[in-house]
Amino acid sequence: MKIDDKLIEYLENLSRLTLTVEEKEQAKIDLAGIIGYMAKLGELDTEGLPALSHPFAAGGRFREDKVTQSYEREQILANAPVKSEGYFQAPKTVE
């Protein structure tokens, strides 16, 4: 499969990533090889087969819905790269 600039830019956008010019050129080569190899699955006849998204068909196990102690605001905010007055801070999004 040919990986062109347009597809790389599309994937960058979906992934919220920007690659450098060199990274882009390398990605074209690497992704072409890997995606070409992944296409091997096309050989398989899977018509009508179920899709196994999880190793076990059984549903998840749920715990009792009980109120428990959560974390303090300061603890959670300690890991925030930028914070202000007890909140996460992000650039202004509305003018």
Partner 1 sequence: MEIRDMTALEMGRLIKERKLGCAEAATAVLEAISSTDGELGAYISVQKDRAIAAALKVQARLDAGEALSPLAGVPVSIKDNICTKDVPTTCGSKMLEDFKPVYDATVVEKLAAAGAVTVGKLNMDEFAMGGSTETSYFGAAKNPWDPRRVPGGSSGGAAAAVAAGEAVYAVASDTGGSIRQPCSFCGVSGIKPTYGSVSRYGLVAYASSLDQIGPIGRDIRDCAAALQILSGPDGRDSTSVIERPFDFSDSFSGDIKDMVIGLPVNYLSDGIDSDVRQAVARAAETFKALGAQVEDFTMPMMEYAVPAYYIIACAEAGSNLSRYDGIKYGYRSGNADSLADVYLSSRSEGFGIEVKRRIMLGSFVLSAGYYDAYYHKALQARGLIRNAFNQAFDKYDVLLSPVAPTTAYKLGENITDPLKMYLGDIYTVSVNLAGFPAAALPCGFDRNKLPVGMQLIGKEFSEPKLVRAADAFQQNTDWHKRRCGK
Binding residues for partner 1, rule: CB under 8 A, are: 7, 10-12, 14-19, 23, 26-27, 30-31, 33-35, 37-42, 44, 46, 49-56, 58, 60-64, 71, 75-76, 78-82, 88, 90-91, 93
Are 39 and 1 in contact by the 8 Å Cβ rule? The answer is yes
Using the Cα atoms of residue 21, residue 26, residue 30 and residue 32 in order, give the sign of their dihedral.
Answer: positive
Q: Which amino acid is at 92?
A: K
Alpha helices in the chain (DSSP H): 5-15, 21-38, 73-77
**Nearest distance, CB of residue 29 and partner 1, angstroms:** 10
CB 40 → partner 1: shortest distance, Å?
A: 5
| Nearest distance from C-beta of residue 23 to partner 1, angstroms | 7
Nearer to partner 1, 21 or 90 (CB): 90
Query: Strand pairing partners for 95?
Result: none
Closer to partner 1 by Cβ: residue 75 or 85 = 75
Quick one: 40 exposed, middle or buried, by C-beta within 10 A (0-12, 13-18, 19+)? exposed
Minimum distance from residue 22 beta carbon to partner 1 (Å): 10
